[in-house]
Structure 1
């Protein structure tokens, strides 16, 4: 099968949009938009992110041994585009802190993690993160499906 066919097929899975951030001593905050994120375990509380071998943040996470996951709100499309490299003009991002790590204000969920495992699979590295803190806000998520940003539409309840 062709790469494009595989990519198109994977794009049919609707996902939330996250920005992964990390901070390396003296070198500032680094981040990237990603939808390759999932929860792994409740006890202990573990999550996993998948980072491509060409991503600049890969070496930064290895160096810092920590990362945050920011699940973006529906009104944060521009933030997603900034960290995906889709907006070329410079925009200053002011970060909040969670467990001492940088997080994006306004995200509906912020998760601080320490790297507890690292596995290279294909052209990606899977980082297992031990959750050290979490912050939740009310709001609708930013959704990505079939190569486009989407929003959720609430279904009408039908009484039978």
Structure 2
């Protein structure tokens, strides 16, 4: 099967949008990713997938920790900035959580220590043991068929 058909099929799965962050020598680094999932409640583990040629791969290997920042519907430009889709120089806004840079105002900031990793094809899968979490109210930024979107959280009665 051809690569385009595979990519198109994978694009039919709607996802949230995250920015993965880590710090090297006190400097924050980030990349947009939608390959993220929860794995285990005990211990609390999540998984991210980083392409082998991504600069973030070496940074996470060096730092031994990362944060998953789940973006809100108002943070499409943040996603585009970390995806390299905005070429003009902009400084992203960070907060700090458990001594790591996290995206300011994200729906969730999830700080993890690398628990394990596995090379899988042209990606490395990082298991992260969750160390700290901050949650905020709001609606998520989504990605479907190569486009950004939003969904509205259901009203609880």
* Interval containing the TM-score (normalised by the shorter chain): over 0.9
Aligned residue number for residue 121 of structure 1? 120
Over the residues paired in the alignment, what is the CA RMSD in angstroms?
1.5
- After TM superposition, list the pairs within 5 Å mapping 1:55-70 onto structure 2: 55-70=54-69
| TM-score (normalizing by structure 1) | 0.94
What secondary structure, in the 3-state scheme, does the structure 2 residue paired with 1:29 have? strand
Distance 1:31 1:66 in 2: 12
> Do the aligned residues in 1 keep the contact of 2:139 with 2:153 (CA within 8 Å)?
no
Counterpart check, 1:79 vs 2:82: no
The alpha-carbon deviation at position 94 of structure 1 amounts to 2.5
Counterpart check, 1:139 vs 2:138: yes
- After TM superposition, list the pairs within 5 Å mapping 1:7-18 onto structure 2: 7-18=7-18
Aligned residue number for residue 39 of structure 2? 40
The count of aligned residue pairs is 156
**1:37-77 superposed Cα distances (whole Å, 9 cap, x missing partner):** 00000000000000000101100000000000000000000
What secondary structure, in the 3-state scheme, does the structure 2 residue paired with 1:57 have? helix
| TM-score (normalizing by structure 2) | 0.96
Q: What are structure 2's unaligned runs of at least 5 residues? A: none
What secondary structure, in the 3-state scheme, does the structure 1 residue paired with 2:59 have? helix
Aligned residue number for residue 108 of structure 1? 107
Q: What are structure 1's unaligned runs of at least 5 residues? A: none
What secondary structure, in the 3-state scheme, does the structure 2 residue paired with 1:58 have? helix
